[in-house]
């Protein structure tokens, strides 16, 4: 299970498992971002597990935020997510 919960006017928290199966629940990304302007903070600390599809989804969030001219901040990455990012050399994609 995966949830995308708005926690404030500028923030959301993602909780659960972000994988190939659950990413489908959050598409399309542009629709998720339509109510935000200026800044978007995405809290990742409560993600239990992330696979490569989940990583691709986070990159898609970044691309959609750039198109909408949002300042995007990811926070609270887990050690497992950090390892996945490192394995795929995706640090710059999520910076």
CATH of the domain at 64: 3.30.750.24
Domain count, the chain: 1
Instruction: Say how far residue 67 (Cα) sits from the centre of its chain.
Output: 15
Q: Report whether 62 contacts 73 (CB < 8 A).
A: no
Per residue in 42-86, pLDDT tens?
999 999 999 999 999 999 999 999 999 999 999 998 888 989 999
Is residue 95 scored above 80 in pLDDT?
no
List phi, psi (to 5°) of 57: -65, -40
Q: Report whether 15 contacts 2 (CB < 8 A).
A: yes
Helix (H) or strand (E) holding 90: none
Domain of residue 53, residue span: 2-94
């Amino acid at each position: 299970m995966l949830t995308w919960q708005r926690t404030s006017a500028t923030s959301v928290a993602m909780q659960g498992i972000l994988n190939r199966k659950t990413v489908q629940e959050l598409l399309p990304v542009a629709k998720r971002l339509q109510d935000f302007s200026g800044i978007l903070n995405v809290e990742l600390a409560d993600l239990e597990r992330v696979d490569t599809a989940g990583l691709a989804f986070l990159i898609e969030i970044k691309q959609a935020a750039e198109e909408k001219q949002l300042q995007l901040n990811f926070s609270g990455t887990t050690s497992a997510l950090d390892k996945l990012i490192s394995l795929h050399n995706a640090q710059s994609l999520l910076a």
